[in-house]
Chain A
Amino acid sequence: MDTIFEFLFKYRPILFQEGDFTFASTWPSLLVLGAVAAVTIPTLFTYGQARGDSRKGDRTVMAVIRLGLVAVLVFILFQPTLVLTSVVPQRNFVGILIDDSQSMRIPDEGGVSRADFIRTTFGAEGSELLTALSDKFALRFFRFSRDASRLNDMSELSYSGTATNLGNAMVRAQEELAGVPISGLVVVSDGADNSGEVLAESLLPLQAGGVPVYTIGLGEEELARDVQVSRVEMPRTVLVGTSLVVDVIVSHQGYSGRTVQLLVEDTGALLASEDVTFEGDGEPVVTRVRIHAEDAGPRVLRFRVAPQEGERVTENNVRDVLVDVVNDAEKILYFEGEPRWEVKFIRRAVSDDENLQVVVLQRTAESKFLRLDVDDADELAAGFPKTREELFRYRALILGSVEASFFTHDQLDMIADFVSQRGGGLLVLGGRNAFTQGGYQGTRLAEALPVFLDDELSTSAEPYYGELFVAPTRTGLTHPATQLGEDNSDAVEARWASLPPLTTLNPITRLKPGATGLLTGGPEQERDRQIVLAYHRYGRGKVIALPVQDSWIWQMHADISLEDQTHEVFWRQLLRWLTDGVPSQVAAQADRELVEPGQPVNLIVDVGDSAYVEVNDGNVVAMIRTPSGDTMTVPLDWDVEQDGHYEAGFPTTGPGLYEVSVNALRGADTIGAALTYVNVAPSDEEYFNASMRGATLRRVADQTGGIFYTPETVANLPEDISLTGAGVTLTEERDLWDMPILLILVLGLMAAEWGYRRKRGLI
């Protein structure tokens, strides 16, 4: 289109956009009018007089054509001109920013890599583009990946950068060129920015300085055939022996209908595999992989899809994720208001699990409590905790059948705070004194529950009793707490369907907004009548409701074989999930998951006292053990903006796992300690989402007044910069009278009159 336009109008459209139109003729207006009249009047007169065989219509048509011809000639005589502002040759600078990251090595269509374009265009002596640019501008080259720096020689480009930070590169180049007239910046990149920074912020100084950015996008906007492990959603810390359900997002291009295998490996040993079937092009598939965390310690798990045939980028088929498998005993308080079989069977289910310590406090008679599995004689000696310090020692709380009036108002508040402030897990079991039947409506605990307590049946005077065949909801099919040790959704569904019914005294049917239902139950043919398992987040923690009274049926029932582990697995996974993510008094983590060798790590530590009130006057020190065995001590400083928040950076050298043990003191008293790991490894991040980001590059160009090019259109770049760029400029006039379109018009009008006459027989 542009070529046709240029053929007809002599110049490219951009010149007409940028330039001002004017007539160069210096003739006085009156003379012009006179001349026009001198030509027009005789024309109209002669055509009006002529008779012959012509009718009036014929004469009008021919007069109009002739007048048009006259008008074109008059237009030409007035010397139409385009006035352009263009930069002064060699007086202005252009910064050329070249992407030096790994993604430039990716071979695109035809096997030509993105770096090849750079080599032939900017590296080779005498390249047309380079010559044209250097004719007009003083050129300054920069290379950029994670950082940007001046480039003196093209041979310095190694294409080994492991990240791309586009915004930073442009700002740096602008700073480097400060003080000299800049016509613009040329960014040669695939635009795959993965710095995580907001690009719009980096554009502000360029917009303010009036520096247009010309972007040259390299690579295909969509890789023709590619499989990518885009994302792995996994907790950073899990309890040893826990079954995890990890969300893995796998995307693809060009492999619709194909089934590939997603493998999970731990230092070479296969942990799990899951089939992934691709659907429509580019549609990411969310796959849920079940993994059992067997061995304690930090593990780097590798999620991998084997390279497919025809795939050019295979580095993005693999993702490594660090998970810390801890071997702690999670202390859970189970408070039960009456002798109940659930106590026996829950204890029995988790007794073999060394990572769960269920401390039971059971009210056997009025003011008489049975304590089981306490650490010492003083623990819970006075019954249910009365202070926050006492309650917050536990990581989770299970409330059985105990009426609300047993607790003081403060204790109910404390239980709610246990979840919302301390971040503990709360599990509320069904029973004759639980939920509505326990008189919890209107208490703070009711507010914390994921379900409403005002069901019609629940609030009626008649006691309710229902038998529940249990079924998982859609979420429940893949939730870690409801897997029952099965490894696919069909098996999970079948397993639930095979279990004998439970009973309930608490008809709970309505979830609160934002709550998630995992299990429902009801008569055999209507298993979704009421809620069996639901949860939501409440403040920092989570609250789970399980309004049934006899999950022990899954252990004792005659249909359940002695070897069957349903009841054990259900309770272990439920309690592990209950304590999952519960914060400790001291919590440490690195500010990002992936660190490259040599990059500094920022360590973030949150510190709270025994009532989980943030501590700002703590003395927090991190001891770091590098993979080579060296240790360093890093003191952390309180971040004044956030209570209880401490930060410090430390350098990394070689790759490997860095062990970070944090110790927090207040005066001479120890508040707590935390252990975390940082995985330092070379990154393949550049190969993920490695297609050319046309949209990003276009936006950069549009917002700064530049233009977006591809290798095919880049030849116009030198002239475009000189016309649209900033810097020292001069005015230039370009004649338009010799535009081919005008000659075509003259000849066309003459031919049209002749043709009309022939047709009408007037010759």
Chain B
Amino acid sequence: MPAWSRHRGYPFGPIRWKYSITDETLERIVRALFTSLGVVALIAMFAYPSIRTDGSAAPAATDGTSGATARPSEAPLSVVDKGAFATVGTRSFSELTRQGARISLESLARAPQTQMDGIPREFYFARLAYNGFGGFYGRGGSWATDYPKADQIFLSFIDRLLPNLDAYEREFVMQVNNPDVRRFPLLYALEVGRMSLTPPEIVGLRDYLLAGGFLIIDDFWGTREWQQFEYQMRQVLPDHQIVDLDIDHPIFTTFYEIDEIIQVPNVGQGVRGGRTYERDGIIPQVKGIHDENGRLMVIINWNTDLGDAWEWADDPYYPLKYSTYAYEMGVNFIVYAMSH
């Protein structure tokens, strides 16, 4: 019996499907459950008056814009609605970092409140919130996959691995069509197979990268997602090629010596063992996009899920091998981005 039929379990597989649930089915059920929960949450969010931080009820937004016109700087920003990002202009750094946090707060109803006071930091692990199609767990967009736990756990490890780095300890979200993104020269984006950038985002990302920004791409699998991502990047950087990064590229030795690219499975597969790939993304690859001067602008981790390894590094069932590798890669990315 060919291997694929066992996984599909249909139509000629063993009849055991009545007694055990396959991975695929389990995933479908979980996804359906969370999608419906997400729908309920969205309905709840829009159907009820929003609550102000001082506890008083805000006037009901009958036309959907009155909240935005009343206090522009606190306009609710939706990452789901295309083109609905407010252009916040250029503000002072401390104001900006607070605003950045509020963007994540207000755009993600369930995100923890991260009010940043005090002195701005040198390094922010900024997650790129981009427009895309197909929600994941009902949280507005594929960009928010593993958010915010992956970011939080990652930063707590970074604090120990790079003690000299003055890093902000909490998750942080930026949109690339927001001029303020330029304050954060490193961005992390994942699940980019569902990325569908708006024209302002395309321009914003292009300018960001050409000005000197660095983008880490992670957690997308297989040919179809690759094609979508490649199509998006061709619009962002039409004159730049995506190339394979050899293992002797300095990014693999900047801090840790990495001598092999391994496939990091998602948490489910990692905990259970067995296959590590998703869809047809069997071979993990690290690719890059360079500028005219040969400087690496984008590092692409395809057919691998570093984010899950970061997120579940504290899970005793998640294999150490994967999280070690993922953290080594993550540290190297940061050190490389901050010096090259």
State the A residues within 8 Å of B (CB): 337-341, 343-345, 347-348, 351-352, 360, 362-366, 368, 370, 372, 432, 463, 465, 467, 500-501, 503, 505, 549, 552-553, 555-560, 562
Smallest beta-carbon distance A407→chain B, Å: 16
| Residue contact B340 to A338, C-beta cutoff 8 Å | no
B93, closest chain A residue (CB): A503
The verdict on A558 contacting B179 (CB below 8 Å), with A344-B339, A370-B339, A463-B119 known, is: yes
**B164:A562 contact, CB within 8 angstroms:** no
On whether the beta carbons of B185 and A344 are closer than 8 Å, the reply is yes
Check B94 against A465 for contact (C-beta < 8 Å). Answer: yes
Contact indicator A347/B211 (Cβ below 8 Å): no
**Roughly how many angstroms separate A337 CA and B165 CA in the complex, as a whole number?**
9
* Given A505-B119, A556-B213, A467 contacting B340 (CB threshold 8 A): no
Q: Would A467 and B92 count as touching, CB distance under 8 A?
A: yes
Contact B183 A556 (CB under 8 A): yes
How far apart are B98's CB and chain A's nearest CB, in angstroms? 13
Instruction: Report Cα–Cα, A360/B338, bound state, in Å.
Output: 12
Closest to B186 in A: A341
- Using Cβ atoms and an 8 Å threshold, which residues of chain B touch A432? 122, 166
Is the pair B211, A364 in contact by a Cβ cutoff of 8 Å?
no
Closest approach, in angstroms, between the C-beta of B209 and any C-beta of chain A? 10
Scan B202-226; emit 1 where CB is below 8 A from any A CB, else 0.
Answer: 0000010011110000000000000
| B residues in contact (CB < 8 Å) with A | 90, 92-94, 119-120, 122-123, 161-166, 179-183, 185, 207, 210-213, 254-255, 293, 295, 334-335, 337-340
Most buried by B among A339, A345, A364, A432: A339
A366 CB contacts on chain B under 8 angstroms: 163-164
- If A340-B338, A348-B295 are given as contacts, then 15 extra A-B residue pairs at C-beta distance below 8 Å, sorted by A number, are A339-B122, A339-B164, A341-B185, A341-B338, A344-B212, A360-B339, A364-B162, A364-B255, A366-B163, A368-B255, A370-B255, A465-B94, A467-B92, A467-B93, A557-B183
CB pair A556–B338 under 8 Å, yes or no, is no
Minimum C-beta distance from A523 to chain B (A): 10
A341 vs B337: C-alpha distance in the bound complex, in angstroms?
A: 8
Known: A341-B338, A348-B295, A505-B119. A365 touches B182 (CB 8 A): no
**A residues less than 8 Å from B213 (CB atoms):** 556
Do residues A338 and B120 form an inter-chain contact, with CB atoms below 8 A?
no
What residues of chain B lie closer than 8 Å to A348, measured between beta carbons?
A: 212, 295
Rounded to whole Å, the gap between the CB of B205 and the closest CB of chain A is 13
Q: Are A365 and B164 neighbours in the complex by a CB distance under 8 Å? A: yes
Q: Which of A337, A344, A552 contacts B340 (CB 8 A)?
A: A344
Among A338, A343, A368, A560, max chain B CB count under 10 A is at A338
A339 and B185 form a contact (CB under 8 A) = no
B123 touches A552 (CB 8 A): no
Q: Are A372 and B339 in contact (CB under 8 A)?
A: yes
In the bound complex, how far is the Cα of B54 from the Cα of A760, in angstroms?
119
Contacts of B337 in A (CB 8 A): 344
Give Cα A347 to B295, complex, Å.
11
- B179 / chain A contacts, CB cutoff of 8 Å: 558-559
Using A345-B212, A360-B339, A365-B162 as known contacts, say yes or no to A556 and B255 having CB atoms under 8 A apart.
Answer: no
Cβ–Cβ contact A347 & B94, under 8 A: no
Question: Which residues of chain B have C-beta atoms less than 8 A from A364's C-beta?
Answer: 162, 164, 255, 335
Q: Lowest 9 CB-CB distances: which A-B pairs, in order?
A: A558-B179, A338-B164, A465-B119, A339-B338, A556-B182, A339-B165, A558-B182, A343-B339, A556-B211
Compute how far the CA of A516 lies from the CA of B117 in the bound complex, rounded to whole angstroms: 36
Please, how many angstroms separate the alpha-carbon atoms of A432 and B185 in the complex?
19
Partner of A370, one of B210, B254, B293: B254
| Residues of chain A contacted by B255 (CB below 8 angstroms) | 364-365, 368, 370
Across the interface, which residues of A come within 8 angstroms of B340, CB to CB?
344, 347, 372
With both beta carbons as reference points, the residue of chain B lying nearest to A368 in the complex is identified as: B255
Q: Are A501 and B92 in contact (CB under 8 A)?
A: yes
Tell me, in angstroms, the Cα distance from A175 to B337 when the chains sit together.
79
Q: How far is the CA of A347 from the CA of B212 in the complex (A)?
A: 11
Q: How far is the CB of B338 from chain A (nearest CB, A)?
A: 4
Task: Point out the residues of chain B lying under 8 angstroms from A557, CB to CB.
Answer: 90, 182-183
Q: Which chain B residues lie closer than 8 Å to A368 at the CB level?
A: 255
Q: A555–B90 contact, CB under 8 A?
A: no
Chain B positions within 8 Å of A341 at CB level:
122-123, 185, 338
Question: For B180, what are the chain A residues with a Cβ–Cβ distance below 8 Å?
Answer: 558
Complex: A351 Cα to B339 Cα, angstroms: 12
Q: What CA separation (Å) do A348 and B163 show in the bound complex? A: 25
> Which chain B positions have C-beta within 8 A of A553?
183
Q: Are B338 and A344 in contact (CB under 8 A)?
A: yes
Contacts of A562 in B (CB 8 A): 207, 210-211
Neighbour of A556 across the interface among B92, B212, B254, CB < 8 A: B212
With known contacts A340-B122, A341-B122, A552-B185, A365–B163 Cβ distance under 8 A = yes
Task: Find the B residue at minimum CB distance from A549.
Answer: B122
Residues of B within 8 A of A339 (CB): 122-123, 162, 164-165, 334-335, 338-339
Alpha-carbon distance A556/B207, docked complex (angstroms): 9
Once bound together, how far apart are the Cα atoms of A163 and B322, in whole Å?
Answer: 84
A366 to B164 Cα, complex, angstroms? 8
By beta carbon, the residue of chain A nearest B340 is A344
Q: Contacting B165 at CB < 8 Å: which of A338, A352, A559?
A: A338
CA distance A311 to B335 in the complex (A): 67
Q: List 9 A-B contacts (CB under 8 A).
A: A338-B165, A339-B165, A341-B123, A341-B338, A344-B337, A344-B339, A344-B340, A360-B339, A370-B335
State the Cβ distance, A39 to closest chain B Cβ, in Å: 109
Minimum CB–CB distance from B293 to chain A (whole Å) comes to 7
Which A residues touch B93, using CB under 8 A?
467, 503
C-alpha gap A501/B94 in the complex (Å): 12
Bound: A549/B123 CA distance, A: 12
A505 contact set on B, CB distance < 8 A: 119
- Once the chains are docked, how many angstroms separate the CA of A463 from the CA of B119? 8
Q: How far is the CB of A390 from chain B (nearest CB, A)?
A: 22
**Closest Cβ neighbor of A432 among chain B residues:** B166
- A residues near B164, Cβ cutoff 8 Å: 337-339, 363-366
- Give Cα A432 to B165, complex, Å: 11
In the complex, A362 Cα to B90 Cα: how many Å? Answer: 31
Bound form: Cα–Cα A505–B179 in Å:
24
State the Cβ distance, A250 to closest chain B Cβ, in Å: 43
With a cutoff of 8 Å between Cβ atoms, the chain A residues found around residue B119 in the complex are 463, 465, 505
The reply to whether B339 and A362 contact each other, CB–CB distance below 8 Å, is yes
Asked, given contacts A344-B212, A363-B164, A370-B255, whether A558 binds B339 with beta carbons under 8 Å apart, the answer is no
The answer to whether B338 touches A559, judged by C-beta atoms less than 8 angstroms apart, is: no
Assembled-state Cα–Cα distance A559/B254 (Å): 32
- Give min CB distance, B253 to chain A, whole Å: 10
Chain B's closest residue to A567 (CB) is B212
Closest to B213 in A: A556
**Contacts A343-B339, A344-B340, A362-B339 given; does A555 touch B161 at CB 8 Å:** no
Closest to A372 in B: B339
> What is the bound-complex CA distance between A368 and B162, given in angstroms?
10
Q: In the complex, what residue of chain A is closest to B121 when comparing beta carbons?
A: A432
Q: Are A558 and B185 also in contact (CB < 8 A) when A340-B338, A344-B338 are?
A: no
Residues of B within 8 A of A365 (CB): 161-164, 255
Closest residue on chain A to residue B295 by CB atoms: A348
Q: Which residue of B lies closest to A557 (CB)?
A: B182
Residues of A contacting B162 in the complex (Cβ-Cβ under 8 angstroms): 339, 364-365
Q: Nearest chain A CB to B331's CB is how many angstroms away?
A: 9
Chain A residue at minimal CB-CB distance from B179: A558
Q: Give A370 to B165 CA distance when docked, in angstroms.
A: 14
Q: How far is the CA of A722 from the CA of B211 in the complex (A)?
A: 87
Q: Which chain B residues lie closer than 8 Å to A503 at the CB level?
A: 93, 120
Chain A nearest Cβ from B250, distance in angstroms? 9
**Candidates B92, B161, B165, B212; contact of A552 at CB < 8 Å:** B212
Closest residue of chain A to B94 (Cβ to Cβ) is A465
A560 to B208, CA, bound (A): 11
Alpha-carbon separation in the docked complex, A558 to B185 (Å): 12
Q: How far is the CA of A337 from the CA of B164 in the complex (A)?
A: 8
Q: Which residues of B contact A552 (CB under 8 A)?
A: 185, 212
Given contacts A344-B337, A360-B339, contact A558 B90 (CB under 8 A): yes
